[in-house]
A = this chain, B = another copy of it.
Amino acid sequence: MPAPVDHDEKRRDLARIAATLIAERGLQAATIREVAARVGFSTTVVTHYFSTKREMLFAAYRHTAEQAQERFNATARSLPGDPLARLESLLPVDEESRQAWRLYFQFWPMADHDAEMADAQRWWNRHAVTLAARALQEAYPEIGALDEKAALVLSGLHGIAVQALFDPDEWPAERQRRMLRTQTRLLLG
């Protein structure tokens, strides 16, 4: 007897594959047909999980954001005494995190003419400010104007990520991490 298929798990697998495809080849290339081909399913099976390409794209975006959140949480558990390491986990320093940023870049232009996508991106960005604020408060318990400081630090993180993604030779992981620590220290005075 075959094992019962876990619907949610299979849906997550397909979202993960769609995310890889988007990061590698862009939103145009990430069709239901192409995802089906990558997993060896028929398109009918994939449409059982995502009835439209659009639904699949949003699932891929959410999957990537959730994965980033999990990296953040895992770092909090493994390095509880180093809150800034949690922020480092958001930088494009390895294959998984570089893929996440490549995917964000693919989606960014979409927000320009798609209110639902713009909402999703705003939500994730504001959520990231909240995550940063909690990490900073742990690192600097006396910190004031927490939200503004968190926005400053996250802004710096965005800037490092943008540059690192398109100029990896100039921005190895070590430089990204050092830069994030330096600028966080400076920004928090």
What is A's interface to B at a CB cutoff of 8 Å?
24-26, 28, 102, 105-106, 108-109, 111-113, 118, 121-122, 125-126, 151-152, 154-160, 162-163, 165-167, 170, 179, 182-183, 186-189
CB–CB B167/A155 < 8 A? no
Question: B106, B125, B151, B186: which contacts A152 (Cβ < 8 A)?
Answer: B186
- The prevalent SS among residues of A at the interface is helix
For A155, the chain B residues whose CB sits under 8 A away are 156, 159-160, 163, 179, 183
Bound CA–CA A187/B181 (angstroms): 12
Question: B25, B113, B165: which contacts A113 (Cβ < 8 A)?
Answer: B25
Bound CA–CA A167/B183 (angstroms): 23
CB–CB A108/B166 < 8 A? yes
Given contacts A25-B113, A109-B105, whether A162 and B158 have CB atoms under 8 Å apart is: yes
